[in-house]
Amino acid sequence: MPHREQDTGLNLPNVPQSRRASRLAHTQEKLAHKKHTKAAMKVASLSVNGYGGTSLYSRENRWSKLNQLVRDHKIAIALLQEVHLTEERTAEIEEMYSERMKVFASPHPDNPTAMEGVAVILGKFLIKTEDASAKVLVPGRALLVKLTWNKNTSINLLNVYAPNVHGVGEENAQFWETLRAKLSEPENIDWQPDMVAGDFNMVEDPVDRLTIRSAPAATTNALDGLKLLLKVQDGWRETYPSEAQYTFSRNNGQSRLDRIYCSETIARTARKWTLESVGIDEVDHDMAWVQVALIDAPIMGNGRWAMPKSLIKNKLVKSHVIETEKLALVTAQETSVNRTNTHNPQTVLVRWIHQTREEARRVEKTLISPITKKV
């Protein structure tokens, strides 16, 4: 029986097998790249207050809700804090949600099921995850992730869960100084983060805390040192310089502990800086998120206007179409005999289309106005 080549679904010409294989591999690479690449993506940070229950199947478990949150909000990268993950729990999560997400995690070294822990979720339907990698700076508290955004652009993110501030804030300050020292090491030059996000457990500006009071100088000075090294800025505060909004409440006090810092390059295309509740039981922080775009991404307009389906059955529009259509048909027939460059069936059709579109827009405005007035 004669040998038949495997049907690849591609209509390739009669070329040598090596060239066919090369073309097929190139096409598959382009398709895979197209599937995972977006010109803009949403990056979010959320402190989740633990794992929830004792297993993934517990009613209290957070991860089914986090999966839904990432899916519904179309989050490409989610940086999570206080996740209480072990290596076994992380493996179970990746297995259960393998089609949708890739997970990197750094557990607390001594008591992972009850303390600290950071994790990063990458949405497989929204961003390329195959070559993503991670590096732990401080176990359970600081995790770097490096990934390819598109074919020519990569992005590095640092997920942080800082120690609580007590007294003069020595432990919190030491955390920022440790990160600054580690990120200054030659081996970490290629890991310099473009974005830093997480639960900072302190505020820089008194307006970010209610009741208003300043954080210990040691903590703000140490964080300033890290920011200067990385050249990052608080995107939400830069966008809303005088507003007060908080992500955490306790004992009649409120603070904006959850923040996203980014480089100047990222800030130029970042938009929709948002703080919002996620509605997950026992999660006591609000989520911070932002949409970032490639610096060379095309500016997207509103697109071409299309007549709403409701107007197609509108009596005024139907009457206009019927009357002008007849006139346009007669004119087109006349111009087909005495044709010129400016007066011919094609130009008659274009004018009729424009007139119909303007009439539909006029009618649409008259229908919308009464509704707007009521609102």
Segments making up each domain of the chain, as ranges: 33-293, 309-374
Tokens of residue 215, six digits: 């954080």
pLDDT at 23: 59
pLDDT at 29: 53
The predicted-structure confidence for 319-328, as pLDDT tens digits, reads as follows: 888 888 888 8
Residues 71 and 74: their CA atoms lie apart, in Å, by: 5
Tokens of residue 53, six digits: 């229950």
Total residues found in the chain within this entry: 375
For residue 32, is it left (φ>0), alpha (ψ between -120 and 50) or beta?
Answer: alpha
Say if pTM beats, i.e. exceeds, 0.85: no
Q: Does 359 show up as a binding residue in the annotation?
A: no
Question: Which sign does the torsion angle of CA 31, 33, 36, 39 carry?
Answer: negative
pLDDT at 1: 46
Token look-up 């303007």 returns 358
Catalytic, 161? Answer yes
CA distances from 331 to 125, 148, 324, 341 (A): 53, 58, 10, 15
Q: Does 82 show up as a binding residue in the annotation?
A: yes
Residue from 199, 208, 234, 286 carrying the catalytic annotation: 199
Half-sphere exposure of 254 (CA within 13 A, CB side): 8
Q: Does domain 33-293 have CATH number 2.40.50.140?
A: no
CB–CB of 181/171 below 8 Å? no
Residue from 36, 84, 108, 285 carrying the catalytic annotation: 285
**CB neighbours of 2 closer than 8 A, spacing ≥ 6?**
none
Q: For the chain, which ranges sit under pLDDT 50?
A: 1-13, 15, 31, 33-35, 369-375
pLDDT at 120: 97
Q: Does 221 show up as a binding residue in the annotation?
A: no
Dihedral pair phi/psi, residue 272, rounded to 5°: 60, 45
pLDDT at 367: 67
